[in-house]
């Protein structure tokens, strides 16, 4: 069973958001990295790019598949996790510690449409 962390918001496309103030840390869930297998490349947007909830903002590639990253929230990218450029496998080591992008949230009410840990765990069991 994949690890689901409390206190995060989850999307049906298996991205998570950890919120600190007005900043959202976006990454993929443990379930997603487990399904993908060994991550070999992460395609990320640039700082100052805008991401829109429900739209693609990058991709994660593994030895067996490539998966689009879908933004769970709308905002402006304030930082990308540059460590993933050289060590994409960090996502496999700990998907929750190794976020992909940080965004300044445009509309915190979008979080209401995401799942909490309990709902996401149930969603993953389907």
Going by the DSSP 8-state scheme, the letter that residue 77 receives in this structure is E
For tokens 């990308």, the residue is 80
Q: Look at residues 64, 71, 63, 86 and name the one whose alpha carbon lies nearest to residue 28.
A: 71
Residue range 52-76: average pLDDT?
97
Residue range 93-111: average pLDDT?
98
Q: pLDDT per residue over 39-58, tens digit each?
A: 999 999 999 999 999 999 99
3-state secondary structure of 52: coil
pLDDT reported for residue 2: 82
Q: Look at residues 28, 4, 6, 8 and name the one whose alpha carbon lies nearest to residue 20.
A: 8
Task: Please give the model's pTM, rounded to 2 decimal places.
Answer: 0.97
């Amino acid at each position: 069973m994949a690890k689901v962390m409390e206190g995060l918001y989850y999307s049906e496309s298996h991205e998570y958001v950890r919120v600190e103030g007005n900043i959202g840390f976006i990454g993929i869930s443990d379930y997603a990295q487990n399904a993908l297998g060994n991550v070999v490349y992460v395609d990320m947007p640039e700082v100052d790019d805008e991401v829109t909830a429900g739209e693609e903002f990058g991709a994660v590639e593994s030895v067996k598949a490539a998966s689009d990253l879908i933004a769970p929230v709308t905002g402006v990218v304030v930082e990308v996790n540059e460590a993933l450029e050289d060590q994409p496998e960090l996502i496999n080591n700990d998907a929750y510690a190794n976020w992909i992008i940080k965004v300044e949230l445009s509309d915190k009410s979008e979080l209401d449409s995401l799942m909490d840990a309990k709902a996401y765990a149930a969603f993953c069991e389907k």
